[in-house]
């Protein structure tokens, strides 16, 4: 039996982490038996981030390493049927989403003064009142420093919106108007895109990234189509 350890529900989402949702979709599509576990403090995960997968008593951290593990365990089912070129496109899309647009989503939640109280409530709300504010503020400072180190945090909000718009435009052009990226059924790279966009479209209340993303009907319809096809939704 496999256990996928993810963040608890937040912001109207059952599974709020795009990396966790991607793996949940993948496990379901591979027809593997698994349970979902929750960890409120990612600092306690093997690499300080979620998800991790518990398999045969071993903890595998990082969604890409989990994907590689599952591919090996299933005899190559994860990437089956993908050409070298398709895999290259999928990896490029994953990098765009997970190493660029993701940080803008993080900024829209953690750095936005108006949105921040939602993070404090949903991520830190179950801590004792006496330490809640302190722990939340320290965590916020660390996340804002990380976005600064990444580089995107050094831009003005208007400039960040420009970067997000160009990412979303690229994604909207990359996904098909019908069906899935590379086949008749959704695969790992569809789960990467849709797992991420589900959290952009459905997080409550909307962030400034959501406000930009709703302009892209094709991307929204595709995100719904993938969730529907695999039977896994990010929202509650």
Is the CB of 62 or the CB of 120 nearer to ligand GSH?
62
User: Minimum Å distance from CB 51 to ligand GSH?
Assistant: 6
User: Which range, of 58-66, 68-76, 81-89, 161-169, touches ligand GSH by CB under 6 A?
Assistant: 58-66
Instruction: Out of 49, 132, 161, 220, point to the residue binding ligand GSH (CB under 6 A).
Output: 49
Instruction: Out of 26, 50, 105, 181, point to the residue binding ligand GSH (CB under 6 A).
Output: 50
> How many residues of this chain interact with ligand GSH, rule: CB under 6 A?
11
210: its two tokens? 């959501």
Which phi and psi (to 5°) does residue 41 adopt? -115, 100
Instruction: Out of 28, 36, 54, 64, point to the residue binding ligand GSH (CB under 6 A).
Output: 64
User: Which range, of 46-54, 76-84, 123-131, 155-163, touches ligand GSH by CB under 6 A?
Assistant: 46-54
User: Minimum Å distance from CB 197 to ligand GSH?
Assistant: 14
User: Which range, of 41-49, 169-177, 181-189, 206-214, touches ligand GSH by CB under 6 A?
Assistant: 41-49
Is 233 an interacting residue with respect to ligand GSH (CB under 6 A)? no
Residues 164-223 that bind ligand GSH (CB under 6 A): none
Is the CB of 64 or the CB of 224 nearer to ligand GSH?
64
Is 147 an interacting residue with respect to ligand GSH (CB under 6 A)? no
d(CA 14, CA 145) in angstroms, rounded, equals 28
User: Minimum Å distance from CB 143 to ligand GSH?
Assistant: 7
User: Minimum Å distance from CB 21 to ligand GSH?
Assistant: 9
d(CA 213, CA 84) in angstroms, rounded, equals 30
Which phi and psi (to 5°) does residue 3 adopt? -125, 125
User: Minimum Å distance from CB 179 to ligand GSH?
Assistant: 26
DSSP codes, the chain: -EEEEEPPPBTTBSS--HHHHHHHHHHHHTT--EEEEE-S-GGGSTTSSS-EEEETTEEEESHHHHHHHHHHHTTS-TTTT--HHHHHHHHHHHHHIIIIIHHHHHHHHHT-TTTHHHHHHHHHTTS-HHHHHHHHHHHHHHHHHHHHHHSGGGS-HHHHHHHHHHHHHHHHHHS-SSS-SSSSS--HHHHHHHHHHHHHHH-SS--HHHHHHTT-HHHHHHHHHHHHHHT--SB-
Instruction: Out of 10, 13, 19, 115, point to the residue binding ligand GSH (CB under 6 A).
Output: 19
Residues that bind ligand GSH (CB under 6 A): 7, 17, 19, 42, 48-51, 62-64
């Amino acid at each position: 039996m496999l256990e996928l350890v993810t963040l608890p529900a937040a912001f109207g989402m059952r599974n709020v982490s795009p990396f966790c949702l991607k793996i949940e979709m993948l496990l379901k599509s591979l027809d593997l038996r698994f349970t979902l576990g929750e960890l409120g403090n990612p600092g306690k995960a093997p690499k300080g981030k979620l998800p991790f997968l518990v398999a045969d008593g071993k903890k595998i951290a990082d969604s890409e390493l989990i994907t590689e593990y599952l591919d090996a365990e299933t005899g190559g089912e994860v990437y089956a049927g993908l050409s070298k070129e398709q895999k290259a496109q999928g990896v490029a899309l994953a990098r765009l989403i997970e190493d660029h647009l993701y940080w803008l989503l993080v900024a829209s939640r953690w750095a936005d003064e108006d949105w921040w109280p939602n993070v404090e409530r949903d991520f830190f709300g179950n801590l004792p009142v006496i330490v809640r504010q302190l722990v939340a503020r320290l965590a916020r400072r660390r996340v804002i420093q990380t976005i600064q180190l990444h580089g995107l945090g050094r831009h003005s909000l208007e400039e960040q919106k420009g970067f997000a718009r160009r990412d979303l435009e690229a994604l909207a052009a990359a996904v098909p108007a019908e069906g899935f990226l590379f086949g008749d059924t959704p695969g790992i790279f569809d789960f990467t895109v849709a797992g991420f966009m589900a959290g952009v479209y459905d997080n409550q209340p909307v962030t400034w990234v959501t406000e930009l993303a709703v302009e892209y009907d094709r991307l929204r319809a595709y995100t719904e189509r993938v969730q529907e096809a695999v039977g896994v939704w990010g929202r509650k």
